[in-house]
Amino acid sequence: MSVSKGNQSLRDVAITLNRQQLLMPPLESDAKERTLLVVGSKGSGKSTLIDKFLDRNEIEKPTLALEYSFGRKAGKSLVKDICHIWELGGGTLFTSLLSNEGGVLNSLKIKSMTVVMMLDLSSLSTLWTTLETLLNIIKTFLMQRKDSSTLINNVKKKIPSDHPDYLRMDPFPIPLIIIGGKYDLFQDFEPEKKRIVCRCLRYIAHTSCATLVFYSSKDAALVKRTRELLSHYAFGTTSVKTVSQDFNKPLLVPPGADLIESIQGLGSTNNSWTIDKYKHFFTSHFPQESSKTSVLPDDPGQDPNFREPLIDALRSQKDEELERYCKEMERKQKIELVF
């Protein structure tokens, strides 16, 4: 294929090539489609988590903006269901790619989507800001939909109506998994720090009707457990039944399996602890800092991890044209000075 594209920009060529080389496989007529939208802290291990879930070994590279991958799994009918996986890189830097016109949330089937929020337990100074920013952006978008009430009711159906905290829950509009990554580092924190973090995350997950799980890519048991959890939402496999609420151990709390009374230790009738109070409680112990730095390398075009032969060849051609143009302009300026 020729790389000569006339006056087309690199962006135009990239879009054309992307359309010609679609990653998405053809879907069998009886197959089910589901989507995982993976967001969270910068450098928390989102790409590694996806690689382990898909059982693939790839060279680790930073996610520059938004990346797509997919997994397929045969069900009882041997028809392979498909799970589309979208990963947002950069923490909170590229949130416009989610909800703006043409953003990923505008183009996906929301009813079959699960949000996977991965947080860096080793970086408590950015954890709450990342969690709050991303969840608010996604939730605000979803609540603007005409079927937002239906979405919320579908989530809350998973909670027994006789649950003691049923009326105090404010469900996230679609299934939500909160993953505390880098547990291998977090487990060595002081007990009081771990208690505060676990208490706050349990409250957010519980009132949002979300699943909370702690994870480390270096712990085979935690990898297996998290893969099983993701598989349930990606392919409809058996849900994880285990519950672990001890702050000295990696947490695993499915929707509806917790109690505000257990989280607070103050009795379920105490309504003074709201999400705002938990935010103040967390941030007073772990002041938050917002990262304004870009995750982009000095020049992504020179990074071997992002090689695209056709695009790279076209860029090289354009760079040579620019260099010739600059030399020609320099030559003309010298001639003008002489005369």
Give the predicted TM-score (pTM) of the model: 0.78
pLDDT, average across residues 244-261: 94
Predicted confidence (pLDDT) at residue 107 exceeds the cutoff of 70: no
Q: 114 or 66: whose pLDDT is higher?
A: 114
Q: For residues 227 and 179, is the Cβ–Cβ distance under 8 A?
A: no
At 309, the pLDDT band (50, 70, 90 cuts) reads confident
- Per-residue confidence (pLDDT) for residue 304, from 0 to 100: 59
Query: What tens digit of pLDDT does each residue of 167-180 get?
Result: 999 999 999 999 99
- Per-residue confidence (pLDDT) for residue 2, from 0 to 100: 40
Q: What is the mean pLDDT of the chain?
A: 83
Phi, psi of 172 (to 5 degrees): -65, 140
By C-alpha distance, which of 35, 26, 24, 28 is closest to 80?
28
| Range name among 49-53, 254-258, 270-274, 303-307 with the lowest pLDDT average | 303-307
- Sign of the alpha-carbon dihedral angle for 58, 224, 250, 67: positive
Distance CA 1, CA 126 (A): 46
Query: What tens digit of pLDDT does each residue of 3-44 get?
Result: 444 566 655 666 565 555 544 555 555 678 899 999 999 888
Query: What tens digit of pLDDT does each residue of 60-97 get?
Result: 666 667 888 888 887 666 678 889 999 998 887 877 87
Query: What tens digit of pLDDT does each residue of 265-308 get?
Result: 654 455 677 899 999 999 999 999 865 544 454 555 565 555 66
Q: What topology does CATH give the domain 30-305?
A: Rossmann fold (3.40.50)
- Per-residue confidence (pLDDT) for residue 166, from 0 to 100: 92
Predicted confidence (pLDDT) at residue 205 exceeds the cutoff of 90: yes
Predicted confidence (pLDDT) at residue 328 exceeds the cutoff of 50: yes
pLDDT, average across residues 219-237: 94
Helices 124-143 and 275-285, packing angle to 10 deg: 150
Counting residues of the chain whose pLDDT is more than 70, the rounded percentage is 76
Identify the residue whose tokens are 């800001």: 129
For residue 109, give every residue at least 6 positions away whose Cβ sits within 8 Å of its Cβ, in sequence order, or none: 33, 35
At 182, the pLDDT band (50, 70, 90 cuts) reads very high
Predicted confidence (pLDDT) at residue 55 exceeds the cutoff of 90: no
Structure tokens at 75: 């069900």
- Per-residue confidence (pLDDT) for residue 57, from 0 to 100: 78
- Per-residue confidence (pLDDT) for residue 37, from 0 to 100: 94
- Per-residue confidence (pLDDT) for residue 189, from 0 to 100: 96
- Per-residue confidence (pLDDT) for residue 3, from 0 to 100: 44
Distance CA 78, CA 1 (A): 38
**E strands along 102-201, which residues?**
113-120, 176-181
